[in-house]
Amino acid sequence: MPLQFGASRQMAVIAGDGYFPTILAKRNNRIPVYAILSMSLLAFILVLVGSLEMILEFGSITFLLVSLLMAYANYKIRDLTNSSLFITLVSFVGLLIGTVLVLYYEFNNQPQQLLFIVGLYIILTIGSWLFSRNRCLQAGN
C-alpha cells in the first residue's frame, strides 16, 4: 500500500460522506490527491499569513479541545462504553487543565497568536455553518 498522509485520507472519507466538497474524495491509485493538495495549499496560506509556530499551536490547541470533548462525550455515555468513572474523570480533568494552561500561556506570552487562532476557529465555524446550511437547503429542494 502506498504511503499516504492520514489527515488527507480522513479528509477524503469526510468528503465522501458529504461533509466536504466531493472533489476531495476522489483518489488516484488510492491516493487522495485533491485532499493532499488542498491541505498543502491551506498550510502554505497559514505559513504566509502567520508562521509555522502558529500552525503548531493551532494544532496543539485543537488536539486538546477535541480530546477534551471526546472525554466529556465518553463521560456522558460511560454506561454504554463500560468506561471506568475514575479514569474518565481523570482524563477529563487532565485535559481540561492542559487546555487551560496552554490558553493561559498563549494569553500571557503571545496574545496576538491566540487572537489569530481564535480567528481561525471563527472562520472555520462560519465556513462549516455556511456549508451545512447550503447542504440542508439543497436537500430540501
Per residue in 17-67, pLDDT (tens digit) is 888 888 999 998 888 999 999 988 988 888 888 788 888 888 899 999 999
Residue 5 has what pLDDT?
Answer: 63
Same-domain check for residues 44 and 54: no
The counts of H helices and E strands in the chain are 6, 0
Q: Is residue 59 domain-shared with residue 94, that is, in the same domain? A: yes
* 81 in the same domain as 35: no
Q: What is the pLDDT of residue 18?
A: 81
Helix 85-109 to helix 111-140 angle (10° resolution) is 120
**Burial class of residue 23 (count of CB atoms within 10 Å of its CB; 0-12, 13-18, 19+):** exposed
Confidence band, pLDDT 50/70/90 cuts, at residue 131 = confident
Beta strands in 4-141 (DSSP E): none
Nearest to 131 by CA among 13, 19, 56, 12: 19
Q: Does residue 72 or residue 17 have the better pLDDT?
A: 72
- Note down the domain range covering 45: 1-49
Amino acid making up residue 64: L
Same domain, 29 and 10: yes
Indicate if 3 and 66 belong to the same structural domain. no
Same domain? For 59 and 97 the reply is yes
92 in Cβ contact with 68 (< 8 Å) = yes
The CA distances from residue 95 to 69, 71, 115, in Å, are 9, 8, 22
Q: How confident is the model at residue 141 (pLDDT cuts 50, 70, 90)?
A: low
